[in-house]
Structure 1
C-alpha cells in the first residue's frame, strides 16, 4: 500500500471510528451508562466478530491490515496524554479521613488480587487453554491478580456524577480509595512486566535498577529543573502545552525503552509536573490534555474493541468467563463493603454502595488488558474474556446503585467532567489569582 493510499484509509477509518464512538457513547449515557461502554461496543462491532462477517469484504476495505499499526500508535499517543493528566491530577495529600481510605483501598486491592491468583492456581488447565498455550507462570499469575484488582477512577467519577452521587460519603470514600488502588496497581503491573519474557535473574535486577534510577532522576532532577524553569525571572505565562507533550512523550519513550509500557512513563511525567503554589493543577496544562483525550480516547476504546475476537471463543471458555465475572464482583464488593463498614460509621447500605462502586473497572481495566496483550502475557482469547468481564462489572454498576442510593445524602459538587469522567476545575484557564508560580 502506498503512502497516499494509507493516509486515505487512515483518515476514513478515523472518521468512521470517532463518529460511531460518539453516537454510541451518547446513547450509553442516555441509559445512564458510561460512554466508554458504547465506544468499546463500537470497536467490537467494527472488528472481526461482527463487521468481519459481512459479505463483500466491507471490513477489509474500511480497515485494511496495513493501517492497524497506525491506528494503534494514535491510540497509544492518546493514552499517553490522558494518563499524563491522570498523574498530574493525582494529589493523595488532600485525602480526608485517611484511615478509612487506607482501609478500603488496601482491602479493595489485596483481596481481589488474592482471588485472581487463587483462580490461576486452582484452574491452571482452564487458563492455559484460554491463553492459547502461553505460559501460566508466576508472571501470568501476578498479572491476573492485578487484572482483577483495578478500579477505573475516570469511569467511576462519571458514574458518580450521572447517578447523582457526587458529594455523598460513600461516593467520596469510593473515589478516594479507587485513586489509591490505581497508585498501588501500576507499580505491581510494572513489576509483573519486568519479570516477564525471557531473560536471566541478573537481567531482571538490571531492569529494576535502571527503572529505580529513572524514577529518582525524574523526581529529584527533572522536577526541580521544571520548577526553576517555570519560575525563572521574566518568564512569560506562555502556553505550556508543547512542554507538557514533550515531557509526556519523552518519559513514555524512556519507560518503553526500559522494557515497560509507555503508560508508566506518562503517569510518572504527570506526577513530577510542577503544580501551582496552592497545590492545584494548572488548567493551562490540564485543559489541552483533556480536550485531546476527549477527541482521541474513543480511538483507543475502538481499537481495544476491535481486538476482541468473539468468534474465536470456545464453549469451554464460558465457564471460565462466568468464574471471572463472579470472582471480580465478589472480590470488590465484599472487600469494599466490609472495610467501609469497619473503617467508618457508614450504615450497611452505604457500605455496600462503596463496594459496588469499587467494582467499576472500565477504562483502567482496558489499559491493563492492552498492556498484557501487547506484552504477550495474555492471548487473544483470554483478552476477549477479560474485556467482557470489564464490560459486565461496569454495566452492572448502575442497576446495583439504584436500590442503594439515597438521594437526600448527596450534595452539589463544583466540578465538571469530560466524557471519560475525569474531573477538572470549571474555573478560568490559567493560574488563579495570588497563586502565580509553581512548586
Structure 2
C-alpha cells in the first residue's frame, strides 16, 4: 500500500511540477496553461475535502459544514498534508499558483457576504439597535482593555513581537485580534441554524460586522503608525464612512429599479443579474481599495439591495455556486498559510492558553453581559456570546497581515491561529448547549433548526 501511494505521489509531482518533485518551478517558468492545470485540480480537491470533512463534522461532531470546511483547509496545508507528504502538497499547491487561488477565495467570501447582507432583516436590526450597539461596543472595548493588560508581558518574551514594535502598536494589534468576530463563519452558522431571519441572528450579525470593521480600522492605524503613513488610516476609515453614508442615503433609491424589473417580469433576467453582479464587484473593489476588505463591500451593498422576489431569484441563481464552489477556496487559501507546530514548549503553550482564556473572557463574557444589561433573556444572551466568540479565518487574515508586515513573529502567529481554531470549533456546540436546545423545547426553533413563524 505504501509503495503504491509513493508511486502515485511521485507521478503526480512529476506531472504537475515542471522540474519534478525535488525542484519547484519559478514563477517565470509558468505558462498560462500551467496555472489552469493546477487551478482545476485544486478546485476538485478542495471541493472533495470540504464536503467530506464537513460531512464528518456534522455527522460525528455536531459541527456545521462551515467548520468542517475550515478544518479541511488546514488539513490541505502544511499542518498535515505538507507535513506527511510535502512533495504531494507542493505538487498540488505550488506557491506560484497561490495568487490565483487568493483571487478566487476573495470572490467567494465577498459574494457570500453579499448574499448574507441580502438576507439581513433591517426591521429586526431597528428593533434591536440598542442591544446591537451595546454588544458591539462591549465586544470592542473589553478586548482592548484586556490586551492593554497583558500585551506588555508578551513584549518581554523574545520572538513574539518584532523588536521595533512599540507597546502602543502591539496593544492595538492584539486588541484588534481579540475583538474580531468570524464574520463569514458567523453568517454561515446563523444561516445553517435557520437563524438568518431571527432577531438573535440579526443582532449577532450586526454586532459582528461593527466589531470586524472596528478591528480593521484599528489595524489600518497600526499599519499607518508602523510605516504605512497616516494616509492609510485616513483613507480606510474616512472612505468606509463616506461609502456607507452614500449607500444609506441613496442606496435603496438607486437600486430600486432592479427590484421593480424583476417584479414586472416575474423572474430575474440575465441583464438584471449582470448589473447586480457588476454593482457587487464595484462595491467590493471600493472597500478593498481603501484598505478595509472586499467582504464588507459585498455585505453592505447586499443590505441595501431590493427584497422580495428580487432577493429570492438572486439567491437561487448565485448561492449554490458561491457556497459549493467559491467559498471553500477562501478556507483553503487561509489553511495553506497556517502552521500548527510552532508552539513547541511548555512555556509557550502556557502563554498560548493564557491568550485563549483572555480572548474568550473578553468576547464571550463581555457580549453576554452587554446583552443581559440590554434586557435579553439569559439563553439569548448566552447564544449571542457564543456566536460572537468565534474568530475563524478572519483572524487568520489579520494575523497573516501582521506577520507579513513584521509586527508579530511566527510563534505569536501560531498562538493566535490556535486561538482562532479553538474559539471557532467551540462556537457551534456551545451555542447549541446554551440556546439551541432550549429554543427547540420552547418552540422558538423547529426540529430542523429553522425559526418558527411565531419567533
- Say yes or no: TM over 0.5: yes
Gaps of 5+ in 1: 418-422, 426-439
- Aligned pairs (5 A) from 1:9-408: 9-30=38-59, 31-54=61-84, 57-95=87-125, 96=127, 98-126=129-157, 129-131=159-161, 135=165, 138-152=168-182, 155-156=185-186, 174-195=200-221, 196-197=223-224, 198-201=227-230, 204-205=233-234, 208-221=237-250, 223-228=252-257, 231=260, 236=265, 237-239=268-270, 240-276=272-308, 282-295=311-324, 296-315=326-345, 316-344=347-375, 346=377, 351-352=381-382, 354-362=384-392, 364-366=394-396, 368-369=398-399, 380-397=410-427, 400=430, 404=434, 405-406=437-438, 407-408=440-441
Supply the RMSD in Å over aligned alpha carbons. 3.8
In 2, Cα distance between equivalents of 1:94 and 1:234? 24
Q: 1:93 to 1:388 in 2, by over 3 A?
A: same
- Higher RCO (Cα < 8 Å, 6 or more apart): 1
Of 2-11 and 37-46, more deviation after overlay is shown by 37-46
Task: Give the whole-Å Cα distance in 2 for the aligned partners of 1:117 and 1:249.
Answer: 38
8 Å contact 2:340–2:418 — kept in the other structure? Answer: no
- More divergent stretch after superposition (3-12 vs 369-378): 369-378
- Distance in 1 between residues matched to 2:99 and 2:189, nearest whole Å: 32
Q: 2:11 maps to what in 1?
A: none
CA distance in 2 between partners of 1:25 and 1:56 (Å): 24
CA distance in 1, matches of 2:243, 2:433: 48
Task: Select which of 12, 32, 41 maps to 1:3.
Answer: 32
* TM-score (normalizing by structure 1): 0.78
Change in Cα spacing, 1:134 to 1:297, as seen in structure 2 (3 Å) is farther
**C-alpha distance in 2 between matches for 1:357 and 1:268:** 20
2:7 corresponds to: none
Aligned to 1:420: none
Shift of 1:62: 1.5
Counterpart Cα distance in 2 of 1:216 and 1:357: 28
1:432 matched to which residue of 2? none
| Secondary structure in 1 matching 2:445 | coil
Deviation beyond 6 Å, 4+ runs, structure 1: 160-163, 232-235, 414-417
Of 438, 444, 453, 1:411 maps to: 444
CA contact (8 A) 1:83 1:267 kept: yes
Contact 1:166–1:411 (CA<8 Å) still a contact in 2?
A: no
Given that 2:340 and 2:417 are in contact with CA atoms closer than 8 Å, whether structure 1 keeps it comes out as no
**Alpha-carbon distance in 2 for matches of 1:235, 1:162:** 32
Pair 11,154 (structure 1): closer, same or farther in 2 beyond 3 Å: closer
Contact 2:177/2:395, CA 8 A, preserved across alignment: yes
Secondary structure of the corresponding residue to residue 311 of structure 1: coil
CA deviations on 1:41-84 (whole Å, 9 max, x unpaired) are 22222222322233572112121121111111111111111122
1:391-435 CA distance string (max 9 Å, x none): 212323455456644352343359988xxxxx9x9xxxxxxxxxx
Point out the structure with the larger helix share.
2
What TM-score do you get using the length of structure 2 for normalisation?
A: 0.75
> How far is the alpha carbon of 1:148 from its aligned partner?
1.7
Q: Is residue 111–residue 295 contact of structure 2 (8 Å, CA) maintained in 1?
A: no
Give the match's secondary structure for 1:331: helix
Kept in 1: contact 2:155–2:161 (CA 8 A): no
Cα pair distance change 1:287/1:367, threshold 3 Å: farther
3-state SS of the aligned residue for 1:310? coil
SS of the equivalent of 1:129 reads coil
Task: Write the distance in 2 (CA, Å) between the matches of 1:360 and 1:108.
Answer: 12
